Amino acid sequence: MNDSDVWIIELDVPPERGLMLQAWLLGEDGLGVIRCLDDDKRKQQFWTTLSQKDDAHEWLKSLPEYFLILREWRW
């Protein structure tokens, strides 16, 4: 396992909040990217590195809104 391995956190994000989540992430240069996973635009994947996994979780906790974590895994 390498620190540069990808860590994916799958989130349940209301469709009307998806762009806001992406905008908040823009302020965290290099922490990760958000990908939309389904046609309903509810499942969003937050891709980061294994070495930044804890930082990503702390960032998610710091947001003014809560987004349910559906699952997460190393890829």
pTM listed for this prediction: 0.90
Residue 37 has what pLDDT? 79
Q: Looking at the predicted structure, is the pLDDT value of residue 4 above 80?
A: no
The more confidently predicted of residues 75 and 56 is 56
SS3 52: helix
Query: What is the per-residue pLDDT across 19-61, written as a single tens digit (0 to 9) for each?
Result: 999 999 999 999 999 998 787 879 999 999 999 999 999 999 9
Distances (CA, A) of 65 to 27, 28, 40, 52: 16, 16, 20, 21
Domains of the chain: 6-74 (3.30.70.100)
